[in-house]
Homo-oligomer: A and B are copies of this chain.
Amino acid sequence: MTATAAAHPAWLPTAAFAPLGRRAIAVVQGDAQTETVAAEAAAATTAHGGSAVRFTGEAPRADIVFALEGGLGDEAFRVRRADGSVTVAASSGRGLLYGFFHLVRLGEAAFEGSGEETHEPSRAIRILNHWDNMDLHPVMGAVERGYAGASIFFSVGDGLPGSGHVRDDLSRVGAYARLLASIGINAVSVNNVNVHHREARLLTDDLEHAARIAAALRPYGVRLHLAVSWAAPVMLGGLATSDPFDADVKAWWAEAADRVWAAIPDFGGFVVKADSEGQPGPFAYGRDHADGANMLAEAVAPHGGIIHWRAFVYNHTQDWRDRSTDRARAAFDHFAPLDGRFRDNVIVQVKFGPMDFQVREPISPVLAAMPNTRVALELQVTQEYTGQQKHAVYLGPQWTEVMRFDFGGDSGQTVAALAQGGFAAVANVGDDEFWTGHPFAQANLYAYGRLTWNPDASATDLLDEWIGQTFAGEDATTAAAIHDILADSWRTYEKYTTPLGVGFMVRPGHHYGPDVDGYEYTPWGTYHFADRDGIGVDRTVATGTGFAGLYPSPWRETYESLETVPDELILFFHHVPYAHVLHSGTTVIQHIYDTHFEGVERVQRDIEAWNAVSGSLRDRDLVAGVDERFAEQLRSAIEWRDQVNTYFLRKSGVADARGRRIY
């Protein structure tokens, strides 16, 4: 069984190509990606009885014509409809490819009406970061925070240090690139941002194998990026330093860049996690992040390369006894003062919230604090803190909420508008049969891609797009049931896990399942400070860590005051008594009890809804996969409910107003 043969078609099943495949398609001769469009057209028409021809010069008569035209942006495409036929025009094959999958999404609707529309992506860089290891990591395994099997890029070899390598068979990488192109993703970094010794060598000894990955991605217009170690000049180059001001260090990186672009002409650039969670960085030499990023940026600039520099920098050896240090402030305190100092080809990559991809956090104030920097928004498609692809959790609504958050006042812009550097996210696929562990987790990959292309898209519409393509040919009842299960699932997960923005409360290390005090007395800076009287972190300017003051008005005032802070974030900004009454009219303690009972009840109803339709689904492997994960989700949701409720009953002594069973 080859890797490709085993993979689920995700949202590109043969049935989804029927509306196109029945028609006559003409594809211009052109670049590599245009050839890919032609191959897609040939495959679709072969499967569904249409026809596909190639042309140069004048387009022949056809139901669908893919033509190259000047005057459009690099990745844009224009669709003209008239009399039941469609012309897709673009200035390059990449635009045609996006246009092709646009028609697939529309299905029969692509041929209705008349007129002309132009589509183009919101941002030039729409990347996925894989946290894949080449060597099997003793704690993190093959993929850090991976919940879908092993890496599609790398084999860990026999498990021994040094034996990991790029896979010989990269056919599945090609299939992945196709999925990515169909949703508008145009870049991937393939190795973990925690760059271990083996992976660092992708830059040197293994460059030819990195080039094989790039070749597998290229037909679908997806560019390869690599995560690099700040210490590479020492680790690989034998230099005594990686000081960014050192001439030998600069020369080493310039040579490394020359070598990489010589091997991979369309290489994208480097992703860097520096001075973060134990990774090396410029601090060791008394330099700051701008010094570090700019030195790398200079090395890649001659090749048009980009440096993605992560802003996820904080003290991970904090003393829990120290109440003045606030991890939430860290990225702001490190980066905001550097605004304006980064080169144009540096993108500062900022996690959406100030902590770490929690189910609910405020928006990171860093996003509004660096108007003179190319800032990228970083999301997490892999469900590290949101059910680890065992729980059905559709994150589209969270991401649209983030992207549309308006900082107001002086900055007066949404996160999507501020993210001039584009979008990045931690990937969620592996060599699992369904790519993503839970088959429904495909919807997150789908929504992430589509939102990076158009942040104004509706999460609900995208969910329906995904359902429509993935379950093409299944009946409407099934689609409606899956829609109902997923549409609200992010909020359901929030209900049965951590309340009111407080975050964490997960088992240390693997981050799955509840442990209310799991991180409370650790060096990680993630505390809830629950005592017998109340809970929450005072991050006000008046009496707390001052984090609320890092926001522009009106948000600083909104978060500062108990009168105005949104319920869902109250414990992120304030320490309040259990009896504090929320805007909802419920006390904090009763809210905790109510939401935890509601969350479990909702999962139970979702399972019933699924069982009512799953019998008729043709893909029995998918049904079995979903069934198994629903059983685990329910078990886990009950465990969350009972541990959290018991913890707070024991601590507060306040009985549930509705007299339900708390242990």
A-side residues, CB < 8 A to B, are 138, 158-160, 320-321, 323, 514-517, 521, 530-533, 642-643, 646-647, 649-653, 663
Residues in B with CB closer than 8 Å to A651 are 531-532, 650-651
Give the number of copies in the complex: 2
* Other 5 A-B pairs with CB < 8 A, given A531-B650, A532-B650, A533-B653: A517-B517, A521-B646, A530-B650, A532-B651, A651-B651
Residues in B with CB closer than 8 Å to A515 are 517, 521
Residues in B with CB closer than 8 Å to A531 are 649-651, 653
Residues in B with CB closer than 8 Å to A530 are 650
Q: With CB as the reference atom, state the residue of chain B lying closest to A529.
A: B650
Q: In the complex the two chains form, is B532's CB within 8 Å of A521's CB? A: no
Most buried by B among A530, A532, A663: A532
Q: How far is the CB of A166 from chain B (nearest CB, A)?
A: 22
Q: In the complex the two chains form, is A532's CB within 8 Å of B652's CB? A: yes
Q: With CB as the reference atom, state the residue of chain B lying closest to A507.
A: B508
A517-B516, A532-B532 known; A321 and B663 CB under 8 Å?
Answer: yes
Q: In the complex the two chains form, is B321's CB within 8 Å of A653's CB? A: no
Residues in B with CB closer than 8 Å to A663 are 320-321, 323
| Distance in angstroms between the alpha carbons of A647 and B514 in the assembled complex | 18
Q: How far is the CB of A532 from chain B (nearest CB, A)?
A: 4
Residues in B with CB closer than 8 Å to A159 are 160
Residues in B with CB closer than 8 Å to A514 are 521
Residues in B with CB closer than 8 Å to A320 are 663
| Distance in angstroms between the alpha carbons of A533 and B650 in the assembled complex | 8
* A-B pairs, 7 with minimum CB distance: A531-B650, A517-B517, A321-B663, A532-B532, A521-B643, A532-B653, A532-B651
Q: With CB as the reference atom, state the residue of chain B lying closest to A321.
A: B663
Q: How far is the CB of A220 from chain B (nearest CB, A)?
A: 38
| Distance in angstroms between the alpha carbons of A646 and B647 in the assembled complex | 16
8 contacts between A and B (CB under 8 A): A138-B138, A158-B160, A323-B663, A515-B517, A515-B521, A521-B647, A531-B651, A531-B653
Q: With CB as the reference atom, state the residue of chain B lying closest to A652.
A: B532
Q: With CB as the reference atom, state the residue of chain B lying closest to A532.
A: B532
Residues in B with CB closer than 8 Å to A517 are 515-517, 647
Residues in B with CB closer than 8 Å to A138 are 138
Residues in B with CB closer than 8 Å to A650 are 530-532, 651
Q: With CB as the reference atom, state the residue of chain B lying closest to A651.
A: B532
| Distance in angstroms between the alpha carbons of A643 and B321 in the assembled complex | 9
| Distance in angstroms between the alpha carbons of A158 and B161 in the assembled complex | 10
Q: How far is the CB of A522 from chain B (nearest CB, A)?
A: 9
| Distance in angstroms between the alpha carbons of A651 and B649 in the assembled complex | 11
| Distance in angstroms between the alpha carbons of A451 and B329 in the assembled complex | 58
Residues in B with CB closer than 8 Å to A653 are 531-533
| Distance in angstroms between the alpha carbons of A532 and B655 in the assembled complex | 13
Most buried by B among A320, A517, A642, A649: A517
| Distance in angstroms between the alpha carbons of A531 and B663 in the assembled complex | 12
Partner of A321, one of B321, B532, B642: B642
Q: How far is the CB of A593 from chain B (nearest CB, A)?
A: 16
| Distance in angstroms between the alpha carbons of A31 and B221 in the assembled complex | 82
| Distance in angstroms between the alpha carbons of A532 and B532 in the assembled complex | 6
Residues in B with CB closer than 8 Å to A160 are 158-160
